[in-house]
Structure 1
């Protein structure tokens, strides 16, 4: 079986499939979500792996499945506990959407992850890639699962010169996968493409001499593998200057604040934080005033104990970190709480605030 491309290049599909799948079965990494083809576990792993490295995901996946072993467990779990299980992985809308979708699966599909493209794509947070991954890996249905890894691999093998930063390019790569996917073992085929991109056909310095499908690769034969894929640069990120304080009351309890229910890091907990809009606000007196005006907090500031930079996909936070004590009573509410060190373990904090807390504890221990 031969695939003919517009530029008259050819690939022997059967030989390509055999070489790729044989390599995968011999060399694949031992990953916890590969131990069985449970659609729920495949789904959880694919959502975790979006924008996150495999090595980072493994302990999170194991803990998540330990806490929520079934669809029913996740559907019925408190959001606070689900956010806590996700704490540190970032992009928290992923897990909120996952829990919403899992609840729908429980109610509408009797707890069975749907196995048709239409039904599975209708679930919240399940885009074309995740749908294709679950259908092919868990159910053995020959659907494409095209992410950046797969686009990189196929742009080189098939010499596709489309800009992979453009949303419209996905359709071209999805068609390419439909043309070459193994109908006998779509699960191994799609996983093998992903694995090849992760281990061999890497973004820079691909290991072409170790590649199991090198003889099928047109970019290698033309010596242009370093030039592909074509990808335009992202828009520049925005810098945001913040000041935040780890504030205690007279009993040594720490003041924490719940972020709004929508927007960046929604519903997660943080330490009192204000945005610095003007250069003058680098002055401590100005910062004290800002906390009063913005948060109605009267804080006796200690010293500045450090600065933290945290990079999101679209902006960078530069946070000046202070310690302090509250000078007047702050009434507790749904949004504001004083918690002990032990109680803090129950609340989910984004990574920059975890770093802040560690900084404050290290500072305290060295005083």
Structure 2
């Protein structure tokens, strides 16, 4: 029994070699390594999106030459891109503030309807004095987060709807530019008859002139390819004296005006000075040169309007000359600027009881025609009109027509 126990106990001892017990290598603690994973490529960081520059601010005044500014549209034009930014300026609000992208701009404004142009020009910082003759737009810079102030549109000395170009540019020819819708004629005079009209703000080269230069021949797409226009109602650029004089064409038969849409058309207009008043005046005549009574003229500057007493004598103005009309304003400095003149009929009721110069009931018989009051040199405007039809249908014409 004892021998068996010894035998079993000996089985637990490892054999020795030379008195030393051999040691086995420890089992590996790390599993066999696998192939390294393929690295995932990393993309470069996306570039930061540029932050738009903060807008700048433009402020200034609309120095309209009148008591109050009419409805006006302000334009800021980027000189690099030509992009336009528009802002409506309501009546009675002469100041503006506008946020725009940074850049270089020019500023101008147009009155609604008549399109009279006001500009922030080189003449504005000059003081708009007589020596300030450069009416070109003055560029200005708008910087991010900054205010560009005193961009005042005070130069209203340009033609309606136009901005002054380089005054040093040489003219290769005489250019005619209309400032309003104008009839053109078959010859140098109303007696030749109208062949059509030219829209406002249209330019064309002058081909010939009549003897005194009051009528100019221009290209026209009807008839024989040319027509005549009355020069004093246009803007001219170039040496008029270099134009060759044209022989007057033969009068058509019969020598009457062609039918036209408008009952009245302007004829010879002129301007002179009077420091004390603004005086609009003129005479109505028919195509045979006879005075026409009973019609009025509406003068309107966009903020204020007045209508003339019907032409000729009446109970209220028995000494008025036949065919004559006039309007007198006693505030010549306040009345400076652009006006429209339009022939109308006075339709306010109870004319026999009195005349109302602020009458708003009227029928328009002509296009609006622009004139400019320049104090003190051009404050008297003589505007004659010719009646083409229905000349005997004016107000009170029968009861007050002077006896022969």
Could you tell me the TM-score, scaled by structure 2's length? 0.20
Could you tell me the TM-score, scaled by structure 1's length? 0.22
Structure with greater helix percent: 1
The answer to which structure, 1 or 2, has the higher relative contact order (CA under 8 A, 6+ apart) is 1
Looking at CA atoms only, which structure, 1 or 2, has the larger radius of gyration?
A: 2
